[in-house]
């Protein structure tokens, strides 16, 4: 994935259909897209990379997750669970942190990440959850909502985010708010009165301490339906912004039911 990412222009223009170059690199790595789907790939970069100087791409990707795994599993589980909003349990000396990522349950054990009682081989989930653990959210959530553009170095993400997330939701659920409501419930959303004057406001926990707020305005005679997504002002204390953009993108894919 790192090798693929290096070949991209890193402008996050979204023309490939995903909001960021890093998300695109994940998809190429997972064979969901081809490198050539980025219109800016030219010359020798058009060839799909299979090797990097350090070995295969898979090796690199796996290596990052293994390095993070060592760090995350050495953490003080009891202390960390409390900070990151996980549930700490200990049975016969075996410690575990239980948490959900995008409404899906995971367990972090001293041996690594587990899904449905089996060791997870999904490097993407491992990297994000291990990074979430090691960051230990060094600032409390503020309950102040900001758009993605609030965070540093996200200017290039913003347009793609509007097109691939907010406009997609507005188009999909225009005049179909009953389906919007049932999707919100299915995805673990909680109706939130919030501070926003929207027709519908829902809160989702991408991770326990990484809330996403969805505000939806129905169409009227003057304006089409619209949607705005907000994050906590201190989200960056809990998750790398590139990972956050990727999580939001995955969330939207699932939310509008276009998961490939």
Q: Can residue 13 be called a binding residue for ligand SF4 (CB under 6 A)?
A: yes
Compute the least distance from the CB of residue 9 to ligand SF4, in Å.
Answer: 4
Residue 7 CA to its chain's centroid (Å): 22
Residue 119 sits in the site that holds ligand SF4 (CB under 6 A): no
- C-beta closer to ligand SF4: residue 15 or 203: 15
Contacts 24+ apart (CB under 8 A), 62-71: 62/123, 64/2, 64/123, 64/127, 65/123, 65/126, 65/127, 65/130, 68/126, 68/127, 68/130, 68/131, 68/134, 69/112, 69/113, 69/126, 69/130, 71/130, 71/134
Piece of 15-23, 94-102, 105-113, 177-185 that binds ligand SF4 (CB under 6 A): 15-23
Residues near 241 by beta carbon (within 8 Å), at least 6 away in sequence: 151, 152, 153, 154, 235
Q: Of residues 24, 61, 202, 251, which one binds ligand SF4 by CB under 6 A?
A: 24
Asked whether position 21 contacts ligand SF4 by CB under 6 A, the answer is yes
Select the residue interacting with ligand SF4 from 1, 4, 14, 200 (CB under 6 A): 14
Q: Does 45 bind ligand SF4 (CB under 6 A)?
A: no
**Binding residues for ligand SF4 (CB under 6 A):** 8-9, 11-16, 21, 24, 38-40
């Amino acid at each position: 994935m790192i090798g693929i990412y290096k070949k991209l222009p890193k402008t996050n223009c979204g023309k490939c259909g995903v909001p960021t170059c890093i998300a695109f690199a994940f998809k190429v790595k997972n064979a969901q897209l081809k490198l050539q789907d980025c219109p800016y790939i030219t010359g020798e970069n058009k060839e799909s990379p299979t090797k990097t100087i350090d070995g295969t791409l898979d090796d690199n990707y796996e290596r990052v997750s293994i390095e993070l795994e060592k760090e995350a599993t050495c953490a003080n589980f009891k202390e960390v669970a409390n900070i990151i909003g996980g549930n700490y349990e200990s049975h016969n000396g075996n410690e575990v942190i239980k948490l959900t990522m995008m409404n899906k349950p995971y367990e972090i054990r001293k041996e690594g990440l587990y899904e449905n009682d089996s060791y997870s081989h999904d490097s993407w989930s491992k990297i994000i959850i291990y990074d979430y653990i090691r960051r230990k959210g060094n600032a409390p959530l503020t309950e102040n909502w900001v758009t993605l553009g609030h965070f540093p170095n996200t200017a290039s993400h913003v347009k793609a985010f509007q097109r691939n997330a907010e406009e997609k939701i507005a188009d999909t659920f225009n005049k179909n708010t009953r389906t919007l409501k049932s999707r919100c419930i299915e995805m673990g959303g909680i109706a939130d009165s919030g501070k926003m004057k929207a027709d519908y406001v829902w809160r989702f926990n991408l991770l326990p301490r990484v809330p996403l707020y969805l505000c939806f305005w129905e169409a009227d005679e003057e304006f089409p339906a619209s949607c705005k997504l907000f994050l906590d002002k201190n989200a960056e204390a809990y998750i790398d912004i590139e990972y956050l953009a990727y999580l939001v993108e995955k969330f939207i894919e699932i939310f509008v039911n276009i998961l490939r």
